[in-house]
Structure 1
């Protein structure tokens, strides 16, 4: 019974951490079924995302530091979206006033929602990193994974080499989290795979409701290719590495301040 209660607690904390993504999916579904007046659908989605972001900050569900991280992810995602749409990887076929090079601005919030989940889960589950690799290894690895999303269109795709490198670098690393007063540990590579898989499921839901469109979905919706799990896995790794690195910097700053005060 205790194991079941702990699982329910864990699921509840995860659900609360997914509040921003849930609002995005609900908005996609509602705007697909109900045609809202005055503005195109993509613009309504942008307004909903902005209002949601404002409410989360105002209500205290997100801190100002977390908002900075989420904004960074919005910009990173938007740059990637502009490039991928230009290369024909996917498209946003509907009209919209707030578009940048055929990419609706709400799309950046889909990446920001991943960062929101990570920040929320980190705080709610009191996450701690165990045997985290040095900063000088983590940052170049995250940069290499991100830039491979661009470079593979013109050069070789090294995603599998990068995936192997992730296994080597993080083989001994794990994440510790707290549920109901008890602490648990999970290999960090396994957590990457889990989050990547669930984002792939979310991607299928998003494309079903017309968030964006792959070339093979032009005539009729079809399941997103399972190979996309590898792309989302690498994107999750980039997201996690950025959030973790920023958390580590914040901890070091807080430690330095406390030491200075004690002196």
Structure 2
């Protein structure tokens, strides 16, 4: 409860009042736990979900001849979402700096990747840095937002979590490889092996309502990376950006991008540990 925002504490109190007296076991209890889990996940994803809605809506309904360019409209919408997240107490102040940091690191990578031709955005609008429209950084911020929000909504605890210094070194190496692999050896598979070695012993304990479950944290990482890859397919289908193979006609984003998202997600995981230090299940 101490980690929840004021709005979330109010929702938590109301939800517990609503569910008071419900069975603690049996099929109905399972249905309640599943429903609460899905609702918490949806709440954690709200930034990313709103961004995806903006991207799809801009593709379907935004006029091509509007005075305000489509990319600029998406940027202004993204700013409004971020401001709303803070004003309406959906993010706490200490979480915001991690989200902003992930925004900055993502934008820096976007500038490099578009310059070397890894992907491209439509060349319209003035709210951009070089070839990169400013809304792109908010997509990285959405990943960071999910990470910090899911951490407190599920009161995450860990057993055998690797040392923070070791995970930070791994995150720095992963980030550097996104740049250096264009010029020297691509170390992504080596880095993937490092991630597996670091986090393989780690179990994540997450509270739903009454139930607290534990799962291998690597399995959670894979699930989140897969979900981001699905969202990426929606975004590219909507024309938010295109990979070289999609210029002559949209096609499914390569499955190899799941590995890229997996590694990029590790960076956000490490950043979250700078705000929420991993706690053991028996910690107060």
| Corresponding residue number in structure 2 for 1:261 | none
Cα distance in 1 for residues equivalent to 2:74 and 2:154 = 30
Deviations 1:37-90 (A, max 9, x none): 331011111111111111111111111111111110110000000000001000
Matches within 5 A, 1:3-152: 3-36=30-63, 37-152=66-181
Cα distance in 2 for residues equivalent to 1:96 and 1:129 = 45
C-alpha deviation, 1:216, in angstroms: 0.7
Question: For 2:53, what is the secondary structure of its paired residue?
Answer: helix
C-alpha deviation, 1:135, in angstroms: 2.0
C-alpha deviation, 1:245, in angstroms: 3.2
Asked whether the equivalents of residues 47 and 146 of structure 2 are also in contact (C-alpha less than 8 Å), the reply is yes
State TM-score, norm by structure 1: 0.92
- Structural RMSD (CA): 1.5
Runs of 4+ more than 6 Å apart:
none
| Corresponding residue number in structure 2 for 1:235 | 264
Equivalences, count: 251
State TM-score, norm by structure 2: 0.85
Deviations 1:124-161 (A, max 9, x none): 11112222111221111110011111010000111111
Deviations 1:138-194 (A, max 9, x none): 111110011111010000111111111111111111211111122111111111111
Corresponding residue to 1:226 among 243, 252, 255: 255
Cα distance in 2 for residues equivalent to 1:89 and 1:165 = 25
**Structure 2: gaps spanning 5 or more residues:** 1-26
Question: For 1:154, what is the secondary structure of its paired residue?
Answer: coil
Deviations 1:209-239 (A, max 9, x none): 1111100111211100111111011011111
| Corresponding residue number in structure 1 for 2:202 | 173
Cα distance in 1 for residues equivalent to 2:266 and 2:30 = 29
Are 2:176 and 1:161 aligned? no
Question: For 1:211, what is the secondary structure of its paired residue?
Answer: coil
| Corresponding residue number in structure 1 for 2:20 | none
Cα distance in 2 for residues equivalent to 1:228 and 1:78 = 18
Cα distance in 2 for residues equivalent to 1:213 and 1:171 = 34
Question: For 1:129, what is the secondary structure of its paired residue?
Answer: strand
Cα distance in 2 for residues equivalent to 1:88 and 1:22 = 27
Cα distance in 2 for residues equivalent to 1:122 and 1:88 = 35
